[in-house]
Each structure stands twice: as C-alpha cells, then as structure tokens.
Amino acid sequence: MKRVVITGVSTGIGYSSAKILCNYGYFVYGSVRNQEDSDRISSKLGDNFKSLIFDVTDSKAIIESVEKVRADLKPGESIAGLINNAGIALGGPVTLIDTDVFRKQFDVNFFGLIDVTKAYLPLLGARKDSQSQGKIINISSISGKRAHPFVAPYSASKFALEAFSDSLRRELMIYGVDVIIIEPGPIKTAIWDKTPDPENNEFTGSDYEPALRKFYNLFIQMGKKGLDADVIGNRVKSILQDPSPAVRYVITPHRFSNFTLAGILPTRMFDKLVAKNLHILKK
C-alpha cells in the first residue's frame, strides 16, 4: 500500500485529497492542528487514514510526526508523496497593515512548508542509495503568478513558494525526487468564510474603503462560484500516478480572465484595468 503525507486536511483541498486517495487505496497521513479535528477526520476517512497533530510552524512537532510515519515503514520503503497544502490567506492595503502580517503569512505558507519538506525528504527517498522515490506536490495558487491589490502578503508567499519549488526540483534531480506545483484559482473551501465583512472591517473609513468593499464582494462571489475541491484532489491523485507529470497545473474557472489575460496584456495596461475596476485610479 502506497503511503502519502498531506498537510492541512481539516477542510477544503487537503480533506478532498485525503478522501480521494484513501478511496483509491492509498494510506494517508494527514496533519491537523487539534484532537477534535483528528477525531472528526479519522471517523470520516476510516482505516486508510492516520492523523498527525502538528502545526507547520512548530518544528519540534513536525519532527515528531516524521518519526511516527517512519515507524510504519518497512526498511528501505519510501512514502509515495508529500502534499504541502496547509496555508492561510492574509491581506489588506500594504500601507495600512503591520509588517507582522507578512511575517505571519510567510511563517505558515512558506517557512513552515520548507520545514515540513526538509523533515520529510529522507522518507521520500532523497538519498543516492534509495530504490524508490516519492513526489512533492506543493499547493500554490494562481496568486503565485498573478498579484492583485490587497492580497500582497498572500501573493508574496505564493510567489516565494513558486521560486522555492523550482529551485528544489532542480536540486532534487540528483535523487530522482520530483517537485510538482498545483496553482488553483477560486475553489469552494472554508477560506472564503474568513473573508472580512465588506461593510465592517478594520479598513472602514480609510481611503481604500470603497475599493475594498467592491474587492471583498467580488472575492466572496468568486469563492461561491469556484471549483469543487475534489477537482484538485483528483489532480493530486493523477500526479501521484503519472510517471511523467507536468511541472505546473493551473486549475481555475474562467481561466482566460482569471489567469491568462494578465500574462497577455502589457503590465501598465493591466494595472489600469484593475485600478479602474476597483475605482482606485488617481484622476
């Protein structure tokens, strides 16, 4: 039975990936942050699932989770995959948010991911004498390629993840461990439940209030109309089963407007298009 580790399986993409892989005969180790989530997910996913309780910002707990997985492996056995999914989304106008917001965002989405990846590399077969190697699948975002106003912390963390993934993939060629990136657009997940109230938030009364009201409403609607998380879960499964997967998978509804257009138009033109839409273009 092939074994995989997925971070952040409490909801959304992580839960969907764990569910689909369990149903297809994989044994899934999924990270959650508390016992309540552990009990809930374990009862849903059954015998092919084992929870690992750790936060990706807790280096000691990460190492302890590695030892728990290692104890289940036979000598020389590697896990088939590490899916780095855990993350948060923070934002706001750069001039109005504290730099600590960026630090918190990077601690979870970037530095935490690095710590998890480095800790699990030995179990993925990242050594020259290994007879089997697993894949690393990093859940990025189209925001890791297309940056928009008011989500600078989140986009910056995903841009960093993209660069890290490319560097790591090339370094790990010496061991045969592949690194693949999935770049989802709007997905129906719990992340949309945490969007600030468009009518009452910490930026109410600022110069950006009208633009933010429109921006938040737009994002909430995008989330409600997003793809089902199972679309990403099924892609995770297909990547694990594919001997020659692509490096990147952009998965988003309305791909032309949500992703392609920003790469086609001159940057200044796209800047003005976004600014006019949000009414933040100086007259």
Q: What amino acid positions are annotated as catalytic residues?
A: 154
Q: Look up residue 216 and give its amino acid.
A: Y
Distances (CA, A) of 108 to 18, 60, 135: 20, 15, 21
Q: Look up residue 20 and give its amino acid.
A: I
Write the DSSP symbol of residue 136.
E
CA pair distance 171, 9, nearest whole angstrom: 28
Pairing, β 3-6 against β 49-53: unpaired
Q: Alpha helices, DSSP H only, in the chain?
A: 12-23, 35-45, 59-72, 99-106, 112-120, 152-171, 209-224, 229-241, 255, 261-264, 267-278
CA pair distance 231, 228, nearest whole angstrom: 6
CA pair distance 34, 37, nearest whole angstrom: 6
Tokens of 31: 């990270």
Q: Look up residue 47 and give its amino acid.
A: D
Q: Other C-beta atoms within 10 Å of 141: how many?
A: 27
CB 87 within 8 A of CB 65: no
CA pair distance 10, 15, nearest whole angstrom: 6
